[in-house]
Structure 1
Amino acid sequence: MAVLSLLALASLALAQTSLDSFFPPASVVGFPGPTPTGNEPFEVATGPAAPAQTDYFPLVRFRPSDEAANGTYDPFAVSFGNLSPALSLPPTTFSPAFVNSSALIPPQCTLSQVHLLHRHGSRYPTSGSAPASFGVKVANNTGKFNASGALSFLNTWKYGLGAEILTPFGREQLFDLGVSFRVKYGHLLDAFGNGTLPVFRTTSEDRMLKSALNFAAGFFGIPYEDQYHQSIIIEATGFNNTLAPYETCTNGNNANGAAGTTATNDWVAIYLKDAAARLSALSGGLNITASDAYAMQQVCAYEINSLGYSDFCPLFTQAEFQGFEYSFDLGFWYSNFFGAPVAAAEGIGYVQELVSRLTQTPIATHNSTTNSTLDNSAITFPLNQPIYVDASHDTVISAIIVALNFSSLAATGPLPTDHIPANRSFIVSQVAPFGTQLVGQVLNCTSGAGPAQSYIRWLLNDASVPLTNVPGCTADPYGRCLTSTWVSAMKTRIEQVSFANDCLANYTITDVIGANITDGRPPASAVFH
């Protein structure tokens, strides 16, 4: 049988090779027609207005169960937390002072360098997550219940989502991000010169690599392989990787880093209690708990992102989707943001790399998640690029924001687990949606008769992030800070955050939620063993 199988495979391969000969590549066919290249675009410097990401085509907008036919509720913008598609934020999202700020270069400034840190695109659920478990529950009870009304589709529904990898929409998101980034910043490619190719980075995980390649296809066009170098950093236990720092942060993977799950579960039991009873009444014999209702909301979000629409979505009210959004805020705040004891340490390696790039100085001490092999090479970690692009995960980008000490996002403090506060400065869908982008612009600006000075400012999904919390940085209508001042503050921040202490030391925090952490570091109440 083994010999026959090998022969069959060989026969199929031969047949395929024979078919391929009928479809020669473009390099063989020839006749490409005219191919002149135009000037590189530079929309952030030449556009009359900043471009904005406002659409999520081809996903279909749904209506919550209590929305009128003429309602304007936008579930993609305010319902899905980190499962939302990235949309451009209003300029005053993080400060009312930025009413006139945008991604456009401020007046009397020129752009010398841009740093992009982006998340991968829309993906299927992670392996073994709640949606898959709910799918098993429904399958195991098929024929034992007879759902009715809005839930009647459940009688024939079968769970069919993949796991981990990008959805078709996720591929589109990153291709579009690449195109938009070329239109905004393509002019900086002219500054490479001498045949030098850009080096962009991602991790080895499939959705990460495919996101990076889709970005490259959008940014460079096809074929893109000979237009840049793709650095792929191993994402696995035991490998240092600033774009996946949780692989080497012990305390991020034990009870010290699990408070987000506890906070989320506490909130789910409250905000979905009525929904569970309502859905159970329609299920015709299938007991639906608050946890099941939460899984159904997740199925809604994932099916929307992968299939374009989901029958689960109209089962819930606007208030329940607001509760759904808040569940992600809680999970991130206590496990991946300013309320987590390991967040600053997990993000500090990227800050070390950023300072290295901005000062064109190699990293001297590798005491966090920096990779001493890759980061010490001018080939794999160049220090003189006008464009840097790094792909990472939502939890990592949130941790890097903590390490960068963008504390204005933590201004309203720890999040309660029993209600949604009237005002909160941290909303996950603004910080870490699918395809999120954190952009650092390095500018040369003049004022009056003085010489030009170097400034840096940060845009999170096109909204300026305040830097007034950074020592030495003053209020500015565009969010700028002198680069030298900002770098000095980041060097101090690097000295303050101890990866060895926060990530690797053996300590216990009795109650992370009650500890009221607001700096992403272990509290004074932590007991070291």
Structure 2
Amino acid sequence: MFPAAFQIIIISTSDIPQLSQLRFLPRCLTTSIPQLDGPTQTGEAPWLAQTNVAPFAGVSYIPNTPLETQIPIPGNGNNENIFERLANLSPYFPNPRGFGVNEYPIPPGTNVSWVNMVHRHGSRYPEINGEAAERALGKKITDAKGKYNASGEMSFLSDWRFMLGAEILVPVGKQQLFDSGTLHYYQYGHLYPNNGSKIVARTTTQRRMLESAEYFLAGFFGLGWTQNATLEMVIESDGFNNSMAGYKQCNHSGWEMARAARDEWIEVYLQDAFQRIKGNISGDLDWTLMDTYNAQALCAYETVSLGFSHWCSLFTLEEWDGFEYSLDIGFQAGAGFLSPVGRAVGIGYTQEVLARMQHHVITSPTAQVNITLDNNTATFPTDQTLNFDFSHDSNIISILTAFGLTQFNGFLPTTHILRDRQFVLSYLEPFAGRLDIEVIQAPKPVNPTRSGGQIYLEGEPTDYVHFVLNQRTIPLGKSLKECGNRDDGWCEMKVFLEVQQEQIELADYDYACFGKYRDLKYGHVADGRPLGSSKSSTMDRVL
């Protein structure tokens, strides 16, 4: 027990009106007293992206998690995780199977010199805008209280209430971004100059976007991140240029077509579950097939919001595979290569990445680029080695499409699951998904056959581009043939920049977003741009 003179009582200044008026608080009421901090020497910044000789080793430690995900699922004989089958509603997890290429360490003498990250927000409550289907189901059940009976596996409805908020981050969503910031510091902390200067990070004005950026930066720099970074908020609203929400400046959309295709698949895979649930409900609650589908979404949202959901165990493993596939269809047709605006929505952001790579501002209007911000090095720095942006799931899918990553192209039938598809949304854009684009500087050309003994080939210093999506390499040569068939998936930067000029033309932004063409049916689009585009010879424009 300390003597009374040394005791400190923690109080709130609101409890003592006189203190709330003070310009300076007594030291015992502040949370920072530098003279009493004790030793504070910080070690050198890590550089795991550079130094890790086995970037993606097997799991050796499984931390505690706030979510209850060990729910018995019918038909799950191999104890597979349904929370990795929730498409864009999955809590973040690294892609477990990769994108078809092995991971290789950085060769000795080679440096990761630059990174551009675009990051999705963390797990959130369901939306209010659009269909708001989960909220509608909650209201339907609530309004029918006392008018129906639920039995068997549906007996939990007797006490069930809709308890979800709207659109903002849930607690685990905040954790996902903080953890990601910490991970990125371990990967790229060495790239921060630590010379008193600040980097500029960008997000949009939506609250979940702002908080995602703040939690990430707190994970990367610490709670005093405002000393290290300036957070630039770009307006996210219809008619405003914002490359992180490119669909806000595009009059055409693929989402109506996407919903129709998704609904075709729902009619196929969910009939058994619909009949099971409906059979356990009697009275005045007209349970429909779409209610059954929205109940699957409630499983996802309740789990990240409340930690547990009764809805999850109502469905078999096969039905969870069907749920994943329904959203794969939806996002491929709404934002990917099966969308007429798939390339166009993401092309503004890809042009910003290319400008950063080449260290110049953007001086003339192009796509969704905010020229006021991007023509000024104060708001669009051209010399940063760390570039952090925050965006949405569909926008990042369109960014991948705009870069021409045709590995993720391919028609998804609505009659059965295409098992060997590359477009698996939970692997591409779970909550808190992120794309890291690295520039790697090598003293000589790196041998494309990395499994051989020779590391370098004869030649001049060479820069490479490396795409890492959710901690796994995207092999650029699989989509952009000019990059070559490299073991490590890299692409020579000079080649990459040349290829991307063609991708900008293919997007045909003005026509795709503002041209006059008829509505398209699912399957009519196969390259992320509308039929009749000036870059397409498939058919003439419809004027």
- What is the TM-score of this pair, normalised by structure 2? 0.88
Superposed counterparts of 1:203-222, under 5 Å: 203-222=204-223
| Native 8 Å contact 1:64 1:316 kept in 2 | no
- Corresponding residue to 1:46 among 15, 28, 51: 51
Q: CA deviation at 1:17?
A: 4.8
- Corresponding residue to 1:188 among 166, 186, 191: 191
Q: CA deviation at 1:106?
A: 4.5
Q: CA deviation at 1:145?
A: 1.0
Q: Aligned to 2:381, what secondary structure does the other structure show?
A: coil
Q: Aligned to 1:171, what secondary structure does the other structure show?
A: helix
Query: CA distance change for structure 1 residues 486 and 258 in 2, over 3 Å: closer, same or farther?
Result: same
Task: Give the CA RMSD over aligned residues.
Answer: 2.2
Deviations 1:436-471 (A, max 9, x none): 111111011222343321111101112211212325
* 1:474 to 2:472 alignment: no
For 2:508, the aligned partner's letter is S
Superposed counterparts of 1:511-526, under 5 Å: 511=521, 513-515=522-524, 517-524=525-532
Find the counterpart in structure 2 of residue 424 from structure 1: 421
Find the counterpart in structure 2 of residue 247 from structure 1: 248
- Corresponding residue to 1:89 among 84, 89, 95: 95
* 1:144 to 2:147 alignment: yes
Distance in 2 between residues matched to 1:212 and 1:16, nearest whole Å: 35
For 2:128, the aligned partner's letter is S
Superposed counterparts of 1:323-338, under 5 Å: 323-338=322-337
| Native 8 Å contact 1:88 1:462 kept in 2 | yes
Distance in 2 between residues matched to 1:467 and 1:64, nearest whole Å: 39
Find the counterpart in structure 1 of residue 86 from structure 2: 80
* 1:311 to 2:310 alignment: yes
Q: Aligned to 2:233, what secondary structure does the other structure show?
A: strand
Find the counterpart in structure 2 of residue 110 from structure 1: 111
Q: CA deviation at 1:217?
A: 0.5
| Native 8 Å contact 1:474 1:481 kept in 2 | yes
Q: Aligned to 2:476, what secondary structure does the other structure show?
A: coil
Distance in 1 between residues matched to 2:490 and 2:330, nearest whole Å: 31
- What is the TM-score of this pair, normalised by structure 1? 0.90
Distance in 2 between residues matched to 1:523 and 1:196, nearest whole Å: 48
Find the counterpart in structure 2 of residue 320 from structure 1: 319
Distance in 2 between residues matched to 1:510 and 1:300, nearest whole Å: 33
Query: CA distance change for structure 1 residues 526 and 324 in 2, over 3 Å: closer, same or farther?
Result: farther
Structure 2 unaligned blocks of 5 or more? 1-11, 445-455, 533-538
Find the counterpart in structure 2 of residue 359 from structure 1: 358
| Native 8 Å contact 1:444 1:453 kept in 2 | yes
Range 340-349 or range 258-267, more displaced: 258-267
Find the counterpart in structure 1 of residue 286 from structure 2: 287
Q: CA deviation at 1:139?
A: 0.9
* 1:25 to 2:30 alignment: yes
* 1:508 to 2:518 alignment: yes
Superposed counterparts of 1:271-286, under 5 Å: 271-285=269-283, 286=285
| Native 8 Å contact 2:363 2:371 kept in 1 | no
- Corresponding residue to 1:59 among 55, 67, 73: 67
Q: CA deviation at 1:280?
A: 1.0
Distance in 2 between residues matched to 1:448 and 1:279, nearest whole Å: 63
Distance in 2 between residues matched to 1:371 and 1:471, nearest whole Å: 32
Q: CA deviation at 1:130?
A: 1.1
Deviations 1:394-431 (A, max 9, x none): 00000000000111111xx2111121123211110111
Distance in 2 between residues matched to 1:166 and 1:356, nearest whole Å: 32
Deviations 1:119-161 (A, max 9, x none): 0000000105111100111011100111111111111211010
Q: CA deviation at 1:67?
A: 4.2
Distance in 1 between residues matched to 2:380 and 2:228, nearest whole Å: 17
Distance in 1 between residues matched to 2:19 and 2:141, nearest whole Å: 44
| Native 8 Å contact 2:50 2:106 kept in 1 | yes
Superposed counterparts of 1:292-303, under 5 Å: 292-303=291-302
Q: Aligned to 2:372, what secondary structure does the other structure show?
A: coil
| Native 8 Å contact 1:64 1:318 kept in 2 | no
- Corresponding residue to 1:444 among 434, 441, 445: 441
| Native 8 Å contact 1:257 1:341 kept in 2 | no
Q: CA deviation at 1:55?
A: 6.7
* 1:491 to 2:488 alignment: no
Query: CA distance change for structure 1 residues 141 and 383 in 2, over 3 Å: closer, same or farther?
Result: same
Deviations 1:366-400 (A, max 9, x none): 12000011000101100111111111000000000
Find the counterpart in structure 1 of residue 535 from structure 2: none
Query: CA distance change for structure 1 residues 257 and 296 in 2, over 3 Å: closer, same or farther?
Result: closer
For 1:451, the aligned partner's letter is E
Find the counterpart in structure 1 of residue 343 from structure 2: 344
Q: CA deviation at 1:283?
A: 1.6
The percent of aligned pairs where both chains have the same amino acid is 36
Q: Aligned to 1:388, what secondary structure does the other structure show?
A: strand
Range 132-141 or range 55-64, more displaced: 55-64
Distance in 2 between residues matched to 1:197 and 1:528, nearest whole Å: 50
Q: CA deviation at 1:30?
A: 5.4
| Native 8 Å contact 1:94 1:409 kept in 2 | no
Distance in 2 between residues matched to 1:72 and 1:475, nearest whole Å: 36
Distance in 2 between residues matched to 1:127 and 1:526, nearest whole Å: 39
Query: CA distance change for structure 1 residues 527 and 272 in 2, over 3 Å: closer, same or farther?
Result: farther
Distance in 2 between residues matched to 1:18 and 1:304, nearest whole Å: 45
| Native 8 Å contact 1:59 1:304 kept in 2 | yes
Deviations 1:44-91 (A, max 9, x none): 2223422579878221113354146x74211122x200001222224x
Query: CA distance change for structure 1 residues 428 and 38 in 2, over 3 Å: closer, same or farther?
Result: same
Distance in 1 between residues matched to 2:508 and 2:17, nearest whole Å: 57
Range 15-24 or range 359-368, more displaced: 15-24
Deviations 1:323-345 (A, max 9, x none): 11111101101111110000100
Q: Aligned to 1:508, what secondary structure does the other structure show?
A: coil
Q: CA deviation at 1:225?
A: 1.2
Distance in 2 between residues matched to 1:444 and 1:485, nearest whole Å: 14
Deviations 1:251-296 (A, max 9, x none): 02xxx54211111111112211111111011123333211000111
Q: Aligned to 1:366, what secondary structure does the other structure show?
A: coil
Find the counterpart in structure 1 of residue 469 from structure 2: 460
Query: CA distance change for structure 1 residues 211 and 199 in 2, over 3 Å: closer, same or farther?
Result: same
Find the counterpart in structure 2 of residue 270 from structure 1: 268
For 2:290, the aligned partner's letter is S
* 1:370 to 2:362 alignment: no
Q: CA deviation at 1:240?
A: 0.3
| Native 8 Å contact 1:62 1:75 kept in 2 | no
Distance in 1 between residues matched to 2:162 and 2:64, nearest whole Å: 24
For 1:404, the aligned partner's letter is F
Deviations 1:164-205 (A, max 9, x none): 100000000000000000011101113x64x32111111110
Deviations 1:201-228 (A, max 9, x none): 1111000000000001100001211111
* 1:168 to 2:171 alignment: yes
Find the counterpart in structure 1 of residue 238 from structure 2: 237
For 1:75, the aligned partner's letter is I
Distance in 2 between residues matched to 1:123 and 1:251, nearest whole Å: 27
Distance in 1 between residues matched to 2:339 and 2:540, nearest whole Å: 12
Query: CA distance change for structure 1 residues 284 and 491 in 2, over 3 Å: closer, same or farther?
Result: same
- Corresponding residue to 1:415 among 389, 407, 412: 412
Structure 1 unaligned blocks of 5 or more? 1-11
* 1:135 to 2:138 alignment: yes
Distance in 2 between residues matched to 1:17 and 1:241, nearest whole Å: 45
